[in-house]
A and B are shown apart, each in its own frame.
Chain A
Amino acid sequence: MSNSGFQVSMAESLKAGTRQTVQAPFGLALAELAGKHEDVVGLTADLGKYTDILPFAKAFPDRYFNVGMAEQNLIAISAGLAKIGKVPFATTYGVFATRRAYEFIAVLCAHGHLNVKVFGALPGLTTSYGCSHQAIEDTGLMRLIPGLTVIDPCDATEIGQVVHTSYQIAGPVYVRLQRGNVIKALPEGYEFRHGKAQIVRQGSQIGIISTGLMTAHALDAAAALEKQGVSVAVLHAPCIKPFDAKAVVEFARSVERLATLENHVVAGGLATLVAEVLFEAGVSQKLVRMGLPDEYIECGSPGYLMDKYGISSARIEQKLSSMMKN
């Protein structure tokens, strides 16, 4: 695998179907970053292959450490490295980073304001393996930690940009990581801007505020609704913390109906953030929250589960249609 340029193939996994994908965008970007900065170190807890860090490991074997299946130690070692001036990028699944190593991230990294970058794979319903692997409440957990930056990138391009940006951000960062063949979904020319939400589709009748992979589904659903004569705008909010309150308030005021969409339980994450900032700004508006219910979800393929739980493009389209009837 080369460090320059992405390896591009066609997506087959998503129903939307025809999007380009990039294999292991995280590892490719990390290898590129490490080529520029000698202080970058990559670590994993027995999930190197499954968190896409191998392109980096191959390019910089001396800066790659597999600590074994030991997520608390992964974060503690990263904290130690950061203390003496390294910039560790640590990977595991989101559930293990947040549920098992939470305190290590809070006390060591966040309170210590350490330069540890945690990339947690399998956000929301992107695994077949059931509740032990589905990070459905990680955004909520992590946004509560003072001083921690939390980012949920949408696509392959944005993941690459977030790798580079997170190096520039002083302090700890948690990123929800999509792995494997990751789609390209954001408009040509889109660039991640730290702390900013950006309108990725203009519209007036319905406004969707979405984050992570769900912005791709929002764009699909919006395109489908346009054919029915409904104008749908999409505000992509990858930065959960810091959150772009100003953009959200302006966006909410610019549309007739408002919805949020996230690959996460609807409590504690994006929807909650939006409600907080709107209320604080005195904007009173009905809000349709699309996301996962307050329950653990069974095993099943991502496509099947997203459809069942209402966050597939098709189900979102239905939901938006029904919003127009109210």
Chain B
Amino acid sequence: MLTNQSPPPPASFELLRERAHQLRRNMLVQARGKGQGYVGQALGTAEFLSALYFNEMRYDAARMDDPDRDRFLMSTGHYALSLWAVFAEIGLISRDVLPLYGKDAGPIDMTTFDAVLGVEITGGSLGQGLGQAVGMALGHKMDKRTCRIFIETSDGELQEGSTWEAAMSASAFRLDNLVALIDCNGIQADGAIVIDMEPIAAKWQAFGWDVAEINGNDLEQVVNALVGARTRNGRPKAIVMRTKPGKGIPTLEAREKSHFIRVEAAEWEMLEQELERNYV
């Protein structure tokens, strides 16, 4: 299990909560511009992205090519709008481009390409992230760099064999500079998870990882789990996060478990208001 041996987090929870809220606004702006999108999934990611980018990770947004930076890899490329929501806050892109998400010849795509500043790996084809994270963590160990690799992966990706091949190698190579955040939102393309992957935490444990299982939409739990994952004991860290698609907007939280949440054109305004009302 992950243990909390490190000092308490520096940033206040209140600040991180505000950041998460702003991320959700940014996500909604994008989805509204596109008329649809992976907004359900994205809304569930706000807490851990806030905790990573505004508390846990060591990086300078003005120097995203610094070899010593902590890196965040998003393995699910279709969560791109989550990343653009963050990038607008750390100044990698302008908030003005958010409504242009997914437009033909537009500035921000529906998926992720590593040619974009701040994007560490190309997404779109799932199950390819964790292996790359292992390679980076391994290389940093070789070079005796102290930076860490954080990677988001999903419950759907746990079904790809490549994910477990990577998990196996991470513990074999004693990569305690690697933290996997597993977004278990209970959905995949065909709706609710089609092949039961439980018990997820026990599987990672059996693969030699230190594991924490938390509510991924509870900021305090996320922050604390990340602090616990700082421990350098020769074991990679897995944080199994139970998240809720549509989180922060009750109407979307209640909507049918679907890969592509259907939103009518007239609904967006109401959803935006709901997001604000729900933030107390």
Report A-chain residues with C-beta under 8 Å of the C-beta of B161.
70, 72-73
27 A-B residue pairs with CB within 8 Å: A46-B190, A46-B194, A47-B190, A48-B190, A49-B190, A49-B259, A66-B195, A67-B195, A68-B156, A68-B194, A69-B126, A70-B159, A70-B160, A70-B161, A96-B125, A99-B125, A128-B110, A129-B111, A130-B109, A131-B124, A132-B122, A132-B123, A132-B124, A132-B125, A299-B110, A299-B111, A300-B105
Q: Does A69 contact B188, Cβ atoms closer than 8 Å?
A: yes
Report B-chain residues with C-beta under 8 Å of the C-beta of A69.
126-127, 156-157, 159-160, 188-189
Most buried by B among A66, A70, A133: A70
Which residues, 73 to 131 on A, are CB-close (under 8 Å) to B? 73, 95-96, 99-100, 128-131
Report A-chain residues with C-beta under 8 Å of the C-beta of B195.
66-68, 70
Selected contact of A66 from candidates B78, B104, B125, B190, CB within 8 Å:
B190
Q: Does A46 contact B110, Cβ atoms closer than 8 Å?
A: no
Tell me the complex Cα distance, A67–B105, Å.
36
Selected contact of A301 from candidates B104, B126, B156, B194, CB within 8 Å:
B104
User: How far in angstroms is the closest Cβ of chain A from B166?
Assistant: 15
Determine if B102 is an interface residue (Cβ-Cβ < 8 Å): yes
Report A-chain residues with C-beta under 8 Å of the C-beta of B188.
46, 68-69
Q: Does B125 contact A47, Cβ atoms closer than 8 Å?
A: no
Determine if B248 is an interface residue (Cβ-Cβ < 8 Å): no
Report B-chain residues with C-beta under 8 Å of the C-beta of A46.
156, 159, 188-190, 194
Tell me the complex Cα distance, A46–B160, Å.
11
Nearest chain-B residue to A132 (Cβ)?
B124
Measuring CB to CB, which residues of chain B are less than 8 angstroms from any residue of chain A? Answer: 77-78, 102, 104-105, 109-111, 113, 122-127, 156-157, 159-161, 188-191, 194-195, 259
**Hey, what's the 0/1 contact readout for A47-67 against B, CB within 8 Å counting as 1?**
111100000000000000011
A133 in contact with B124 given A68-B194, A70-B159 (CB within 8 Å): yes
Tell me the complex Cα distance, A32–B240, Å.
43
Q: Does A100 contact B194, Cβ atoms closer than 8 Å?
A: no
User: How far in angstroms is the closest Cβ of chain B from A20?
Assistant: 26
Selected contact of B111 from candidates A48, A49, A68, A132, CB within 8 Å:
A132
Q: Which 7 residue pairs are nearest across A and B when measured between Cβ atoms?
A: A132-B124, A68-B195, A68-B159, A304-B104, A132-B125, A69-B159, A299-B109
